């Protein structure tokens, strides 16, 4: 797989930001503006997204490996949505490469199950997969609408996400591969072996990754952004930046229960 495109911004300790399905690293602009005077940011374009020109096929381990090759060792990571799954795989594959991980509106399992109510119905992702072959653009726009559902700044957040999407379309192979990862990935049993400190930053009104996830994963510190949906760093960048700094600033400590 070709080396991924990574934009570097700011100064300070290294922080890797991994975007979600169908987007690219430009989605972080509002948050990056809040963080670039505190961290050296590494804004990754996943395979087949943004300026990463490989087709985007492959499995989650291949994507995680590509990100690991493109960013510095010893960095903190934050992964949004699908990016959180990729980051979990990276942390399991190379725990010494990652100082800590924040799952930002992300989860070890996206699909609902009998023993896992904190997810979406598998049929939703199956429908998106079926629609991809008919109309990529309409499918992406529908997914953006799901991400802002419930947010107190719905219209503004949707405009921002649409503006980011308009600056770069992912490949069809990347969209299909990413949906498969959302549909099939389940890291719950592997969290016990996850070595880097792990934290959860959630949106209070997120309908894709419910805030109730924190109750299911009580061993990990969690913080909920009031009024936010699935893209809290877009709708509430100041609040997200403040919490990330609280957890990740030098001297804050790296214990998972800190």
Model confidence pLDDT, tens digit, residues 80-116: 999 999 999 999 999 999 999 999 999 999 999 999 9
Question: Domains of the chain (ranges plus CATH)?
Answer: 6-248 (3.40.50.1820)
Averaged pLDDT for residues 109-135: 84
Q: Picking from 64-73, 141-150, 212-221, which range would have the lowest pLDDT averaged per residue?
A: 141-150
Specify the pLDDT at position 117.
94
DSSP state of 38: T
d(CA 220, CA 244): 15
Specify the pLDDT at position 154.
76
202 neighbors 224 (Cβ within 8 angstroms): yes
Please list the active-site residues: 81, 206, 230
Specify the pLDDT at position 131.
73
Specify the pLDDT at position 167.
59
Model confidence pLDDT, tens digit, residues 187-204: 999 999 999 999 999 999
- The whole-model pTM stands at 0.90
Specify the pLDDT at position 2.
66
Radius of gyration of the chain (CA): 16
């Amino acid at each position: 797989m070709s080396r991924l495109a990574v934009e570097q911004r700011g100064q300070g300790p290294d922080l890797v930001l991994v975007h979600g399905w169908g987007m690219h690293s430009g989605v972080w602009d509002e948050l990056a503006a809040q963080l670039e005077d505190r961290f050296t940011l590494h804004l990754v374009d996943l395979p087949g997204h943004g300026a990463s020109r490989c087709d985007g096929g492959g499995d989650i381990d291949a994507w995680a490996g590509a990100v690991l090759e493109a960013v510095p060792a010893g960095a903190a990571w934050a992964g949004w949505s699908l990016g959180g799954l990729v980051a979990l795989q990276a942390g399991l594959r190379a725990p010494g490469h990652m100082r800590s991980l924040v799952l930002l509106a992300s989860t070890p399992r996206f699909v609902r199950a009998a023993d896992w109510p904190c997810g979406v119905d598998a049929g939703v992702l199956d429908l998106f997969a079926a629609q991809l072959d008919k109309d990529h653009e309409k499918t992406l726009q529908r997914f953006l609408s799901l991400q802002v559902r419930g947010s107190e700044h719905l219209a503004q957040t949707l405009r921002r996400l649409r503006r980011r999407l308009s600056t770069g379309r992912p490949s069809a192979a990347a969209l299909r591969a990413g949906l498969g990862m959302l549909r099939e990935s389940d890291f719950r049993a592997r969290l016990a072996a996850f070595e880097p400190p792990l934290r959860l930053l959630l949106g209070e009104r997120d309908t894709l990754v419910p805030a109730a996830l924190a109750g299911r994963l009580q061993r990990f510190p969690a913080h909920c952004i009031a009024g936010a949906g699935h893209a809290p760093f877009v709708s509430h960048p100041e609040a997200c930046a403040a919490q990330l700094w609280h957890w990740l600033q030098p001297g804050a400590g790296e214990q998972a229960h800190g």
